[in-house]
Amino acid sequence: MRIQREKTEIVPGIMRIDTAAQAIDMQQIDNRRFMFHPGTGVLVLGRQYAVTSMANSSHAQELADAGITKDYDGFVRGWIGTGGDYPYGVIHFAPSVDERNLSLFERAFDTLEMFARNGGLASTVIRGFGDRWEQPFCAILPGLKEPEKKPSVRGRLKQKPEGRKDRNKETEQQER
pLDDT at residue 53 tops 60: no
Number of domains in the chain: 1
pLDDT at 176: 55
pLDDT at 49: 75
pLDDT at residue 156 tops 90: no
Whether residue 38 lies inside any domain: the answer is yes
pLDDT at residue 62 tops 80: yes
Is 29 strand, coil or helix?
Answer: coil
Whether residue 159 lies inside any domain: the answer is yes
- Which residue in 105, 90, 98, 87 sits closest to 149, CA to CA? 87
The tens digit of pLDDT for each residue in 118-130 reads 999 999 999 999 9
Whether residue 23 lies inside any domain: the answer is yes
Query: CA 73, CA 41: separation in Å to the nearest integer?
Result: 15
Whether residue 1 lies inside any domain: the answer is no
CA angle 118, 51, 62 (to 5 degrees): 60
Query: CA 124, CA 122: separation in Å to the nearest integer?
Result: 6
Mean predicted confidence (pLDDT) in 78-95: 95
Q: List, as one string, the DSSP characters of 109-143.
A: HHHHHHHHTTT--TT-EEEEETTEEEEEHHHHSTT
Q: Which domain holds residue 132?
A: 6-172
Q: What global pTM score does this model have? A: 0.79
Whether residue 49 lies inside any domain: the answer is yes
